[in-house]
Amino acid sequence: MKVETAYQILFSAALVWFSILILFLLIRSIIGPRITDRILCINMTGTMVICCITILSRVLKESYLADVALIYAMISFISVLILANVYIPFRYSRKEGGSAKQKEEEKNSDS
């Protein structure tokens, strides 16, 4: 068996494995009991997609796909930051019985 054929088999198996894992992560992000589970699944899905894009870049011998993977990594990172910034404080402020702005206003009015 040639080395090139072995790499093709390895890359194909890795793409199939990542596709299966992405499917499980998408199911987990829908079922996930907490918002933090969902955000982590979205982050991990983005990472798996980046891995798939870089493997495809190597298999297809197209260097522009590596640039696409880098841009996708930046967009994925920013989207997870925004989701965490929006949903996690909202979740904890609802548990405590008010928003953070209301509590800050109450502190300022008391002093």
Other beta carbons within 10 Å of 94: 10
pLDDT at 111 over 60: no
Q: Taking residues 8-33, what's their average pLDDT?
A: 93
Q: State the pLDDT at residue 96.
A: 58
> 108 — phi, psi (to 5°)?
-70, -35
Tens-place pLDDT, residues 66-109? 999 999 999 999 998 998 888 877 666 665 555 555 556 656 66
Environment class of 80 (CB within 10 Å of its CB; exposed 0-12, middle 13-18, buried 19+): middle
The residue range of the domain holding 74 is 3-110
Give pLDDT tens digits for 38-63: 889 999 999 999 999 999 999 999 99
Instruction: Count up the domains in the chain and report the number.
Output: 1
